[in-house]
Amino acid sequence: MAVQRLIMFEPKVPRLMMKPNIKPTLRPVCLALMSLVLSACAVGPDYQRPVAEVSSHYKQMAGWKTAAPDDAKIQETWWQGYADPELSALLEQVRVSNQNVAEYQAAYQKALALVQGADAAMYPTLTGSASSDRNGGNSTSSGRTHTAKVSASWEPDVWGKLRRTVEEDTASAEASQAQLASATLSAQSTLAQDYFQLRVMDEQIRLYNQTVDAYARYLKIIQKQYDLGSTSRATLAIAQTQLETARASVLDVQWQRAQMEHAIAVLIGKPPADFSIAVRPLSYTLPEIPVGLPSQLLERRPDVAYAERNMAAANAAIGVAKAAYFPDLTLSGSGGYTSSSIRNLLSVPNRFWSLGAEMSGTLLDFGATSAKLRQAQASYDGQVATYRQTVLSGLQEVEDYLVKLHTLEAEVKVQKRATIAAQESARQTFNQYQVGKINYLDVATTQATSLSQQQSQLTLISSQLVTSVQLIAALGGGWNAPTQMKQSD
C-alpha cells in the first residue's frame, strides 16, 4: 500500500460555474472523494527485491587470514591501511577535485530535484492573477473591466499514478547516489594503483641507475685490459652493450613514470604541468583486508546497489504505465472580484466564484497503453537480469583477486630468494673473472640474470600492491548502502 499524498496539477479545462444555493451538496461529494483517495492503493506491483544467487562463502578464502572483530569492515578511508600519508592526501582530493566525480555529483543533484518536483505534484496548486482590459465596438461606448482572481486545482491521486512516479524518481535518485559512489571509488582505486606503480618505477629507475654505475665501472676495467692487450675486442663490446642497454632502460622507465604522474594529476583535477610527485625510496605496507561474506556485496558494492535501485525504479514504472488505464480526476476552484471601476473592485457585489470537477481518460488508443505497459514490464525483466549479472560479476572479481593476492604473497617470498641467489652469483662470477678463471661472457650472463630477477621482484611487488587495491574496490571500498536505500526493499 503506497503512502497517500496530495498532488499539484495545473488545470487545463474551464471551471464549472456553481450557484451558492447548491454549495452544501458538494460536502458529501468532497468527503467521499477524500475517503476514496485516502483508501486507494497504487496500481502496479509493490517492489520486492528479487533473489540473487550468492554462495555462503568464498571459494578462495582458504588460507586467508580472518580479520579481527574490530576490523570486520573496510573503513571509508580504506587507504589509511597502506600507511602512506602522501597517498592519503591525494585520495582525499579525488572527492572534491576529480571532474568525473563532479559530473556524477551534478547528476545526483539533478535526480534529487526530480524527486522534489514529483513529490510537489502531490499537492494542490494555487495561482493568482490581476487584469485590466479596455473594450468597445463601433456601436457601443468603450469601457474598462478590472479583475482580481485566485485559482486552485488538485488532482487526487486516486489510482496511485503520482505515488508510483515519486517512487520511481526516488529509486532513480538512489541509483544516481550509488553511481556517484561507484565513480568516486573507481577514481580513487585507479589513483592508488597508479601511485603504487609510480613508486615501483622509482625503484626500477634507482635499480637501473645503480646498474649503469656498476656497468660503467666494469667497462673502465675492461677498457684498460683491452688497451693493455689482455682482453679481446668482443669482451669490450659486450661490456659496452650492457652499459648502453641499461641506460636505455632508465630512459624507458622515466617516460612511463612521467605518464603515470600525468594520470594522477588529472585524477585530482590538476593540469599535469602544475603537478609533480617527488622521487623517494620504495616503502609500503600491505593492509589486512576484511573480506566478509558474499551476501554483504549486495550492500557494500555501489555498482550492485545501482543495479538494484534501477530495478526498483523499473518496477514503479510498471505502476505508472498501468495507471494509464484509469481516468484522471481534477478538482478546481476559483474566486475573485470583477468590476468596471477599480475603486469598487473589492466589494461584495463584484465577487464571483466557481467550483469544478473533471474526469478524463482514454477511450480508444488501439493498444498504445497496453504496449507501454508491456515495455515497462520488459524493462523491469531486463533490470532484474542486469542486477543478477552485476552480483555474479562482483563475486567473480572478489574470487579472482583473492586467489591472485594469495598466490602473489607466496610468489614474492620465492622471488626474493631467487633474487638474492642471482645477486650472489653475479658477485662471485665477477670475482672469478677478475682472477682470470672465466671470461666476461659468463659475467655478463649472470649480471643480466641478476638484473632480471630484481626486476621480476619489483614487478611482483607492484602486482601485489595493485591487486590489494583491486580487492578492496571489488569489496566495495568503505562504502555501504545508505539506510534509506536498504529500507526501500
The yes-or-no verdict on residue 190 having pLDDT over 80 is yes
Average pLDDT value for residue range 379-383: 94
Q: Which three cell numbers stand for residue 354?
A: 466557481
Residue 393 has φ and ψ, to the nearest 5°, of -65, -40
The yes-or-no verdict on residue 182 having pLDDT over 90 is yes
Average pLDDT value for residue range 229-246: 91
- Provide the 10 A C-beta neighbour count for residue 404: 19
Task: Check residues 13 and 238 and name the one with the higher pLDDT.
Answer: 238
Q: What is the Cα–Cα distance from 301 to 477, expressed in whole angstroms?
A: 8
Average pLDDT value for residue range 460-469: 96
Read off the pLDDT of residues 246-285 as tens digits, 9 standing for 90 and up. Answer: 999 999 999 999 999 999 999 999 999 999 999 999 999 9
**Nearest C-alpha neighbor of 130 from the set 338, 331, 304:** 338
For 21, half-sphere exposure in the C-beta direction (CA atoms, 13 angstrom radius) is 0
Q: What is the Cα–Cα distance from 203 to 205, expressed in whole angstroms?
A: 5
Q: What is the Cα–Cα distance from 251 to 212, expressed in whole angstroms?
A: 12
| Per-residue pLDDT at 360 | 85
Read off the pLDDT of residues 391-438 as tens digits, 9 standing for 90 and up. Answer: 999 999 999 999 999 999 999 999 999 999 999 999 999 899 888 888
Read off the pLDDT of residues 212-236 as tens digits, 9 standing for 90 and up. Answer: 999 999 899 889 989 998 888 998 9
Position 18 confidence tier, pLDDT thresholds 50, 70, 90: very low
The yes-or-no verdict on residue 1 having pLDDT over 60 is no
Read off the pLDDT of residues 94-141 as tens digits, 9 standing for 90 and up. Answer: 998 999 999 999 999 999 999 999 988 888 888 988 887 877 655 555
Task: Check residues 146 and 442 and name the one with the higher pLDDT.
Answer: 442
The yes-or-no verdict on residue 27 having pLDDT over 70 is no
| Per-residue pLDDT at 38 | 47
**Nearest C-alpha neighbor of 394 from the set 465, 287, 305:** 305
The yes-or-no verdict on residue 67 having pLDDT over 90 is no
| Per-residue pLDDT at 29 | 46
Q: Which three cell numbers stand for residue 96?
A: 572534491
Average pLDDT value for residue range 84-96: 94
- Provide the 10 A C-beta neighbour count for residue 28: 9
Domains of the chain: 1-40+123-156+327-360 (2.20.200.10), 51-122+158-326+368-487 (1.20.1600.10)
| Per-residue pLDDT at 155 | 86
Average pLDDT value for residue range 45-70: 74
Q: Express as a percent the part of the chain with pLDDT over 90.
A: 53
Listed in sequence order, the residues at least 6 apart from 481 whose beta carbon sits closer than 8 Å to its beta carbon are 178, 299, 300, 305
Average pLDDT in the chain: 85
Q: What is the Cα–Cα distance from 478 to 301, expressed in whole angstroms?
A: 9
Q: What is the Cα–Cα distance from 485 to 177, expressed in whole angstroms?
A: 10
Read off the pLDDT of residues 325-348 as tens digits, 9 standing for 90 and up. Answer: 888 888 888 887 787 767 777 776
Q: What's the chain look like in SS3?
A: CCCCCCCECCCCCCCCCCCHHHHHHHHHHHHHHHHHHHHCCCCCCCCCCCCCCCCCCCHHHCCCCCCCHHHCCCCCCHHHHHCCHHHHHHHHHHHHHCHHHHHHHHHHHHHHHHHHHHHHCCCCEEEEEEEEEEECCCCCCCEEEEEEEEEEEECCCCCCHHHHHHHHHHHHHHHHHHHHHHHHHHHHHHHHHHHHHHHHHHHHHHHHHHHHHHHHHHHHHHHHHHHHCCCCHHHHHHHHHHHHHHHHHHHHHHHHHHHHHHHHHHHCCCCHHHCCCCCCCCCCCCCCCCCCCHHHHHHHCHHHHHHHHHHHHHHHHHHHHHHCCCCEEEEEEEEEEEECCCCCCCCHHHEEEEEEEEEECCCCCCCHHHHHHHHHHHHHHHHHHHHHHHHHHHHHHHHHHHHHHHHHHHHHHHHHHHHHHHHHHHHHHHHHHHCCCCCHHHHHHHHHHHHHHHHHHHHHHHHHHHHHHHHHHHCCCCCCCCHHHHHCC
Read off the pLDDT of residues 430-456 as tens digits, 9 standing for 90 and up. Answer: 899 888 888 888 888 999 999 999 999
Position 23 confidence tier, pLDDT thresholds 50, 70, 90: very low
| Per-residue pLDDT at 484 | 64
Instruction: Pick the most confident of 289-293, 350-354, 481-485.
Output: 289-293
| Per-residue pLDDT at 5 | 33
Average pLDDT value for residue range 449-474: 95
| Per-residue pLDDT at 15 | 34
Q: What is the Cα–Cα distance from 357 to 474, expressed in whole angstroms?
A: 56
129: which strand partners? Answer: 149
The yes-or-no verdict on residue 35 having pLDDT over 60 is no
Task: Check residues 394 and 364 and name the one with the higher pLDDT.
Answer: 394
| Per-residue pLDDT at 185 | 96
| Per-residue pLDDT at 440 | 86
Position 359 confidence tier, pLDDT thresholds 50, 70, 90: confident
- 17-26, 143-152, 288-297, 458-467: least confident range: 17-26
Buried b (16+ CB within 10 A) or exposed e, 299-309: bbbbbbbbbbb
Single-letter amino acid, residue 314? A
